[in-house]
Structure 1
Amino acid sequence: MFPASLIWGTVVILCCCFWFLLGKRRRRSGEPPLENGLLPYLGCALQFGANPLEFLRARQKRYGCVFTCKVAGKYIHFLTDPFSYHSLIRHGKHLDWKKFHFAASAKAFGHGSIDPNDGKTSEDFHHTFIKTLQGNALNPLIETMMENLQYVMLQSSTSKLHPNDWITDKLHAFCSRVMFEAGFLTFFGTELNSNHDENLSKQEMERARILNALENFKEFDKIFPALVAGLPIHMFKNAHSARAKLEQELLHEKLYKRDNISELVTLRMFLNDTLSTFDDKEKAKTHVVILWASQSNTIPATFWSLFHIIRNPEAMKAATEEVKNTLEDAGEKISLDGKYISLNRKQLDNMPVLDSIIKEAIRLSSASMTVRVAKEDFTLCLENDSYNIRKNDIVALYPQLMHFDPEIYADPLIFKYDRFLNENGEEKTAFYHSGRKLRHYYMPFGAGIAKCPGRLFAVHEIKQFLTLVLSYFEMEFVDNDVACPSLDQSRAGLGILPPGNDIDFRYRLKCP
């Protein structure tokens, strides 16, 4: 008899041969250059996942500006010429931006389909987000976030801050605590009959619950890329438990016991109850989506913005001066007597230095991927070429290629706080490639109709955070020669990459 190992080895070899002969896709006439990869199903997934930027640069050099790669069972057509980006947006008739996002959300958060075509809900989620995160709806969010940030920074603490006393902390951990707690209070409100001045023991209990939710958020967020890739959450015991605990916190019965809930969450609760067939747990899962979307990219973007300000004396000087002038023009004075400062949306919008710092920090750390799914076979017409695309194939942009292009951004790996300022100190919008002005030069939030609906609030809350820490605190690194952390590539394709390691820093209250 043949040894079992020999039999299994023969079976594996035969399967690989069959895949090589029958499973590999063949490039048809008019289609982009194709790379199937060496592994069945995975294709190029491992190479792409290890370093997407270098992978795409190498294929661009080999195949040109448009090419197709098999990645985890999907065929993705990458467009790498920044002048072709607009072509993706104007092919809306043939490309579906919702299909991928609906599927990814269901896989990661465990709720039923949120595609109205599947009959479990008739809510237009994107419309809900635009209605409650943009336009006039943005003003009360900004106002509430400004108050909550100061409450968290100055009062919501286990030990009272004293002037001249340095507190040593981890920078990413500090940004995470402040932004998560303030953001949670802004979107999901506070317990009924509780405010920032009374019921201190109740406040401490609520803060403990929110910080516990932060720990669960971090545990779940660690394996988020694996969930989007299709791995079941049951493979990750701790993350599965963490997500379940977040769902428990956001059940409707608990949310109804909270006050000052944002318009977004209030409307979503109403639409969940009236337009969906979701049970209580599924409704809570859709609120975990809001929690994750409001924190997952904002926290690392806040970290990178503050990190580069502390590390760059010129940025610190320019930002501090702008904050000081803005507060003076608004008639606001810094004090430690419990009176909070307030800046409205218009005043925050008129802070070009902070805008440039945030943009530059995001440019250096963003690794989002813009994805569309072909509804049918069609011809993708670009500026100088056209390519045939098959139904259900993915067409994708990876803007980090553009963000790190030295022809568009000189010394692209170096932080320059004024990169997005023109000679008049105003917002710079003219960037060039091959001598031609680019329509799209900065794309961390996606493009077209699918552009992140919460991007305006995200930038405003980061700007508020920077305004407040620069106003209230002196800050410095424990190590004056601290190196810039590496980017955590495990989240490539999903947004802002967090630092590979945290940084020790210290801060103390400024004396007014």
Structure 2
Amino acid sequence: MVVATAALLLSTLLLFTFFFFRRSRRRSEPPLDKGRVPWLGHALEFGRDAAQFLNRMKHKHGDIFTVCVAGHYVTVLLDSNCYEAVLKDTQSLDLRRYAQVLMERIFSLRLPNHDPESEKMMMEKQFKGSHLTQLCRSMQKNLNFLLASETTQNPAEWKKDRLFNFCYNVLFKAGYLTLFGTKNNNCAELTEVYEEFRRFDKLLAKLARRSVQKGEMTIASSARERLWDLLCPAWLAKGAEPESWLQAYLHHLNEQSLDSHTQRRALLLQLWVTQGNAGPAAFWLLGFLLTHPKAMRAVREELQGLQHLPLDERENTPVFNSALKETLRLTAAALITRDVVQEKTVRLSSGREYTLRRGDRLCLFPFLSPQMDPLIHSEPEKFKFDRFLNADGTAKSEFFKEGLKMRYGTMPWGAGSNLCPGRHFAISALKQFVFIFLKQFDLELCDRNASMPPVDSSRYGFGILQPDGDLEIRYRPRK
């Protein structure tokens, strides 16, 4: 038995080694870097800190290269002027395959008839026009309610908290009430949804990379199953407001003939998509403002002049918009992945062309290019609240790299067919949260010399980054 097992392991290793060394670069293809370990390639380094690894590969190979990652060959494209043209090609590049892989790994969800285009059209309709206006009003009401509950019995007393915990808690609950809320909302159940979601979210990156340990898998499975129970489609449908986002999404799921078991899993996916980034983004925004007093003063002065205006007239905020764009430039780090289903030629800004091989994966990483490219943004690692402002105070929209005008200075919402349909609602929610909090509360760092914590490097590739640490704050209602 032992001999047979050893023989099987040896033959498997030899097979992996054969395929590893058989792959060679063709003349028209990007530079190939297979790493030193057969089959595994660069998987460990990629998973540990994708930004650091891909930046090293960029310095070594340029704006396009192919790396071996756990048996897959991934071509990484870092010329941001090519992104939109590449994403338009839905014949050569397929979105659904890798999306299905992640849905199954993270959410145990299989959607056999999944149609991303019809789902995107439904979402775009729900996040614009009168639907968007109603969502923003509901979000404002829920934020006011939740922030009012933060007032202590003695308003003069300072209340202490950790900034990341505070932002995630308030934004998640307000967003949940706005999109998933029903007539049967229960405060205790709302808190349970948040706590279970946080347990699940902490392990999301490991679930995606299949690197969870046995104990962690137990925690993730328990949280996931409890969230499925809390997101019961039949119960939600009875209490949902007519013509709400929730009713529209449940109708979309029913049109796909999905059973209630699958619908619960799809609802958890949407819960993460809609609520997994707002809290972290608010943390970084307020954290940068608190650790950069000049930026905080500029934002406060701008918002002060808007406090008597109705919600729909608070759009002219170039300083706040610039601070938000700068925050997202530093922290929005999603990987855009497509499967190459037929050979494709990519033309870079330099004019040079490369061929993508059928069966490989293509990966775009806007965090590195354009957002952290030093040839586009001077001192890209620093927070500069006015980076997206012209000298006259108007919004800055033009950025250049070595004399070439760039399509984008930052890409937190994706591009082309990958553009986030809920971006306007997300921006409005962040603006409302900061506006209400700074207007109604005094806010300070407990340690005035505190600096921003580093990022959790394992979260590269999954939307807004999360911190590896926190900031201690105190707040109280303003007099």
Tell me, yes or no, if structure 1 residue 127 matches structure 2 residue 121: yes
Tell me, yes or no, if structure 1 residue 309 matches structure 2 residue 289: yes
Among residues 405, 409, 419, which one is paired with 2:373 in the alignment? 405
Partner of 1:218: 198
Instruction: After superposition, give the CA deviation of every residue in 1:27-54 in whole Å (9 maximum; x if it has no partner).
Output: 2231111122233433211111222222
Once the two structures are TM-superposed, the CA of residue 325 in structure 1 deviates from its matched residue by: 0.6
- Distance across 1 between alignment mates of 2:242 and 2:453: 36
- Distance across 2 between alignment mates of 1:499 and 1:261: 38
- Distance across 2 between alignment mates of 1:106 and 1:112: 6
Partner of 1:479: 447
Instruction: After superposition, give the CA deviation of every residue in 1:263-318 in whole Å (9 maximum; x if it has no partner).
Output: 22111112222x23322121111111121111111111110001111221111111
Q: 1:479 and 1:264, CA in 2 relative to 1: closer, same or farther beyond 3 A?
A: same
Instruction: After superposition, give the CA deviation of every residue in 1:402-422 in whole Å (9 maximum; x if it has no partner).
Output: 212222111111111111111
Partner of 1:141: 135
Tell me, yes or no, if structure 1 residue 237 matches structure 2 residue 218: yes
SS at structure 2 position matched to 1:406: coil
The answer as to whether partners of 2:339 and 2:362 remain within 8 angstroms in 1 is: yes
Partner of 2:434: 466
- Distance across 2 between alignment mates of 1:53 and 1:180: 27
Tell me, yes or no, if structure 1 residue 176 matches structure 2 residue 176: no
Q: 1:262 and 1:509, CA in 2 relative to 1: closer, same or farther beyond 3 A?
A: farther
- Distance across 2 between alignment mates of 1:232 and 1:278: 29
Partner of 1:151: 145
Partner of 1:424: 392
Once the two structures are TM-superposed, the CA of residue 103 in structure 1 deviates from its matched residue by: 3.1
Large movers: runs of 4+ above 4 Å: 6-15, 230-235
Partner of 2:32: 34
Q: Kindly provide the amino acid, as one letter, of the partner of residue 85 in structure 1.
A: Y
Once the two structures are TM-superposed, the CA of residue 186 in structure 1 deviates from its matched residue by: 0.3
SS at structure 1 position matched to 2:66: strand
Q: Kindly provide the amino acid, as one letter, of the partner of residue 357 in structure 2.
A: R
Q: Equivalent residues in 2 for 1:312-323 (5 A)? A: 312-323=292-303
Q: Equivalent residues in 2 for 1:247-396 (5 A)? A: 247-260=228-241, 263-273=244-254, 275-328=255-308, 330=309, 342-344=310-312, 347-383=313-349, 384-396=351-363
SS at structure 1 position matched to 2:156: coil
Q: Kindly provide the amino acid, as one letter, of the partner of residue 130 in structure 2.
A: N
The answer as to whether partners of 1:169 and 1:506 remain within 8 angstroms in 2 is: yes
Q: 1:507 and 1:491, CA in 2 relative to 1: closer, same or farther beyond 3 A?
A: same
- Distance across 2 between alignment mates of 1:407 and 1:16: 43
Once the two structures are TM-superposed, the CA of residue 88 in structure 1 deviates from its matched residue by: 1.7
SS at structure 2 position matched to 1:476: strand
- Distance across 2 between alignment mates of 1:130 and 1:233: 38
SS at structure 2 position matched to 1:442: coil
Q: Equivalent residues in 2 for 1:486-505 (5 A)? A: 486-505=454-473
Once the two structures are TM-superposed, the CA of residue 175 in structure 1 deviates from its matched residue by: 0.5
- Distance across 2 between alignment mates of 1:127 and 1:487: 34
Once the two structures are TM-superposed, the CA of residue 474 in structure 1 deviates from its matched residue by: 0.6
Partner of 1:335: none
Tell me, yes or no, if structure 1 residue 111 matches structure 2 residue 79: no
**Comparing 92-101 with 302-311, which one deviates more in the overlay?**
92-101
- Distance across 1 between alignment mates of 2:99 and 2:19: 31
Partner of 1:457: 425
Once the two structures are TM-superposed, the CA of residue 123 in structure 1 deviates from its matched residue by: 8.4
Once the two structures are TM-superposed, the CA of residue 15 in structure 1 deviates from its matched residue by: 4.4
Once the two structures are TM-superposed, the CA of residue 350 in structure 1 deviates from its matched residue by: 1.7
Once the two structures are TM-superposed, the CA of residue 12 in structure 1 deviates from its matched residue by: 5.1
Q: Kindly provide the amino acid, as one letter, of the partner of residue 132 in structure 1.
A: Q
Instruction: After superposition, give the CA deviation of every residue in 1:313-351 in whole Å (9 maximum; x if it has no partner).
Output: 1111111111111123x1xxxxxxxxxxx512xx24321
- Distance across 2 between alignment mates of 1:442 and 1:57: 17
Once the two structures are TM-superposed, the CA of residue 232 in structure 1 deviates from its matched residue by: 8.4
Instruction: After superposition, give the CA deviation of every residue in 1:386-433 in whole Å (9 maximum; x if it has no partner).
Output: 222222322121112121222211111111111111122121101111
Root-mean-square deviation (Å) = 2.5
Instruction: After superposition, give the CA deviation of every residue in 1:84-140 in whole Å (9 maximum; x if it has no partner).
Output: 3344234343222333223322332122225447xxxx9822222111123332111
The answer as to whether partners of 1:188 and 1:262 remain within 8 angstroms in 2 is: no
The answer as to whether partners of 1:112 and 1:278 remain within 8 angstroms in 2 is: no
Among residues 165, 172, 179, which one is paired with 1:187 in the alignment? 179
The answer as to whether partners of 2:291 and 2:451 remain within 8 angstroms in 1 is: no
Instruction: After superposition, give the CA deviation of every residue in 1:359-410 in whole Å (9 maximum; x if it has no partner).
Output: 1111111221122222212322334122222223221211121212222111
Q: Kindly provide the amino acid, as one letter, of the partner of residue 19 in structure 1.
A: F
- Distance across 1 between alignment mates of 2:461 and 2:124: 23
Identity %: 32
- Distance across 1 between alignment mates of 2:125 and 2:39: 40
**Comparing 281-290 with 140-149, which one deviates more in the overlay?**
281-290
Partner of 1:337: none
**Comparing 458-467 with 45-54, which one deviates more in the overlay?**
45-54
Q: Kindly provide the amino acid, as one letter, of the partner of residue 321 in structure 1.
A: E
The answer as to whether partners of 2:237 and 2:247 remain within 8 angstroms in 1 is: no
Once the two structures are TM-superposed, the CA of residue 262 in structure 1 deviates from its matched residue by: 6.9
SS at structure 1 position matched to 2:311: coil
TM-score (norm 2): 0.92
Residues matched between the structures, number: 475
The answer as to whether partners of 1:132 and 1:138 remain within 8 angstroms in 2 is: yes
Once the two structures are TM-superposed, the CA of residue 468 in structure 1 deviates from its matched residue by: 0.5
Once the two structures are TM-superposed, the CA of residue 59 in structure 1 deviates from its matched residue by: 1.6
- Distance across 2 between alignment mates of 1:307 and 1:112: 38
Q: 1:68 and 1:261, CA in 2 relative to 1: closer, same or farther beyond 3 A?
A: farther
**Comparing 39-48 with 311-320, which one deviates more in the overlay?**
39-48
Q: 1:251 and 1:391, CA in 2 relative to 1: closer, same or farther beyond 3 A?
A: same
The answer as to whether partners of 2:66 and 2:76 remain within 8 angstroms in 1 is: yes
Q: 1:348 and 1:375, CA in 2 relative to 1: closer, same or farther beyond 3 A?
A: farther
Q: 1:161 and 1:407, CA in 2 relative to 1: closer, same or farther beyond 3 A?
A: farther
The answer as to whether partners of 1:103 and 1:113 remain within 8 angstroms in 2 is: no
The answer as to whether partners of 1:154 and 1:161 remain within 8 angstroms in 2 is: no
Among residues 189, 208, 213, which one is paired with 1:209 in the alignment? 189
Partner of 1:94: 92
Q: 1:261 and 1:324, CA in 2 relative to 1: closer, same or farther beyond 3 A?
A: farther
